[in-house]
Amino acid sequence: MSGYMQISEEQARKARFWKKFLRLTRGRIPVLRAMEVIIQEETNSLLKNIYSSIRKDMETNSTTFYEALAKHPSEFSVSILELIKTAEKSGAWDDILQEVTDGLQEGTFC
């Protein structure tokens, strides 16, 4: 594990979310469907509610992914939100989602 700090279980959990999201969307699954899959597989009821709220905001309120995530600052840090905003503007989803995952796994993001 050279170059990696010891990360918290919360950071590891967040990294797993982003890694799963990356793999689903890289597999050409649309964002709303990817969120639906993540919600179905989530066992933590608090997280399931957060993810459901994000999906609902995107689907019914036509908010962007960034805007929906920003409503949950305890789950998504400013660093991650800024990267997601950049991904929406640039279209570089794969690279940016990998950066988010790596940042959580390295302990540079929370």
Q: pLDDT tens digits for 83-95?
A: 999 999 999 999 9
The pLDDT, as a whole number, for residue 1 is 44
Structural tokens at position 45: 């009821």
Q: pLDDT tens digits for 23-62?
A: 999 999 999 999 999 999 999 999 999 999 999 999 999 8
Query: Whole-angstrom Cα distance, residue 11 to residue 2?
Result: 18
Q: What is the reported pTM?
A: 0.89
Which band of pLDDT confidence, cut at 50, 70 and 90, is reported for residue 5? low
Q: What are phi and psi of 91, to 5 degrees?
A: 80, 5
The pLDDT, as a whole number, for residue 6 is 82
Q: What are phi and psi of 92, to 5 degrees?
A: -90, 55
